[in-house]
């Protein structure tokens, strides 16, 4: 079996087992609290997948998770740990909103790309700060990027309560963006919009660049063994900067699609913890673009289903975070143990994969 296919199958099995473990633990907690676990899980799955509107709502929630998760996966694979997705997402959304509000009279085919590009520029520049401090000064990028989250989020919240606040608004919110900056809806009665096509395109482009080009090969080389890459003539500093700037740009884009796609304005704390959830998505997807896309959809579906579950069953939506945590810890544990599930499954049948696993 092809090594890459085998690795992908092992990753899928590890996520499936992590899901089963998570639901088993939650089932015990639900019984302890007096809830029917079967009815609760059915409500969760119904809210996530049953019906066009529920499924489209799950996709809408998944889109920013996938975009941001791709950026985090890129930086992690390159060996620079960008934990600043929350601040980059807020700065990107702020840039898209400001451009969407103030650039009047533009056609949609020009206005929307300008807003999206502006969000990527702001997110990338915000990520450049911890990247530069890491490469030039040796500061820990994990600490600096986390601290910059507070700066970015509070700066955006300040603007929404001062000079960027909508006139006459009771809440701290921005003015509504121009109609020419709004992404087109794909389904009546749903918030699903054309950012879906943009996300699919970016996933495929990410895969192609990362695994089929010289740039992608060097990015992976820098992440796997920076010293070897350096002695091979690769400018590791350049690729580390490229990785973290691109990571920030994708996080900024993840914020902009929420504003341009369905919110059409910004309010304070408009997307809480999404910048941290994208780290979960990247880890659940094993830092692979296709895995990140699937993990983002799974987490988006669980988010949407948990809301429906809370309404139907009265179960607190916070169990979603327990499920999410168990899945991540389980997947990381399976990866650390390097368990070859394909080999273990093939062993009883005496297949080649089983013999390889034994060896």
| Distance from chain centroid for Cα 352 | 37
**Higher pLDDT residue, 177 or 31?**
177
Average pLDDT over the chain reads 86
Give the pLDDT score at 332.
Answer: 74
Q: Are 62 and 296 in contact (CB under 8 A)?
A: yes
Give the pLDDT score at 1.
Answer: 59
Name which of 321, 317, 293 is nearest 306 in CA terms. 317
Percent pLDDT > 90 in the chain is 44
Measure the CA–CA gap between 299 and 48, rounded to whole angstroms: 10
Residue 326 makes CB contacts below 8 A (sequence gap 6+) with 18, 21, 22, 25
Measure the CA–CA gap between 301 and 147, rounded to whole angstroms: 30
Measure the CA–CA gap between 291 and 296, rounded to whole angstroms: 8
pLDDT in tens, 156-179: 999 999 999 988 888 889 999 999
How is residue 176 written in tokens? 């509504």
pLDDT in tens, 86-142: 999 999 999 999 999 999 889 999 999 999 999 999 999 999 999 999 998 889 999
pLDDT band at residue 358, thresholds of 50, 70 and 90?
very low
Give the pLDDT score at 357.
Answer: 47
Nearest-Å Rg of the Cα atoms of the chain is 22
Sketch the domain layout of the chain as residue ranges. Answer: 1-18+37-50+285-359, 67-279
Per-residue pLDDT at 47 exceeds 60: yes
pLDDT in tens, 224-272: 888 888 888 888 899 999 999 999 999 999 999 999 999 999 998 888 8
pLDDT in tens, 62-78: 999 999 999 999 999 99
């Amino acid at each position: 079996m092809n090594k890459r296919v085998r690795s992908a199958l092992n990753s899928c099995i590890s996520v499936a087992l992590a899901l089963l473990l998570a639901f088993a633990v939650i089932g015990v907690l639900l019984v302890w609290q007096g809830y029917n676990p079967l009815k609760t899980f059915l409500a969760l799955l119904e809210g996530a997948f049953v019906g066009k509107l529920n499924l489209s709502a799950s996709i809408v929630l998944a889109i920013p998770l996938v975009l941001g998760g791709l950026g985090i996966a890129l930086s992690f694979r390159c060996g620079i740990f960008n934990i600043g997705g929350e601040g980059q997402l807020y700065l990107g959304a702020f840039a898209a909103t400001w451009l969407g509000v103030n650039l009047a009279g533009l056609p949609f085919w020009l206005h929307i790309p300008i807003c999206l590009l502006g969000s990527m520029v702001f997110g990338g520049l915000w990520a450049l700060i911890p990247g530069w401090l890491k490469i030039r000064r040796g500061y820990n990028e994990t600490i600096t990027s986390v601290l910059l989250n507070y700066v970015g989020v509070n700066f955006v919240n300040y603007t929404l309560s001062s000079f960027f606040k909508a006139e006459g608004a009771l809440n701290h919110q921005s003015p509504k963006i121009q109609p020419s900056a709004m992404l087109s809806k794909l389904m009546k009665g749903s918030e699903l919009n054309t950012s879906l096509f943009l996300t699919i395109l970016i996933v495929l482009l990410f895969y192609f660049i990362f695994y089929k080009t010289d740039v992608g090969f060097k990015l992976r080389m820098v992440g796997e063994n920076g010293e070897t890459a350096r002695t091979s003539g690769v400018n590791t500093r350049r690729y580390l900067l490229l990785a973290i700037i691109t990571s920030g740009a994708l996080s900024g884009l993840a914020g902009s699609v929420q504003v341009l796609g369905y919110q059409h304005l910004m309010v304070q704390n408009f997307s809480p913890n999404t910048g941290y959830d994208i780290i979960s998505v990247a880890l659940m997807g094993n830092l692979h673009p296709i895995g990140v896309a699937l993990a983002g959809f799974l987490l988006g579906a669980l988010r949407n289903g948990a809301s429906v579950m809370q309404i139907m069953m009265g179960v607190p939506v916070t169990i979603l975070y327990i499920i999410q945590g168990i899945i991540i810890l389980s997947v990381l544990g399976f990866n650390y143990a390097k368990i070859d599930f394909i080999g273990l499954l093939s062993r009883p049948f005496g297949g080649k994969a089983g013999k390889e696993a034994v060896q």
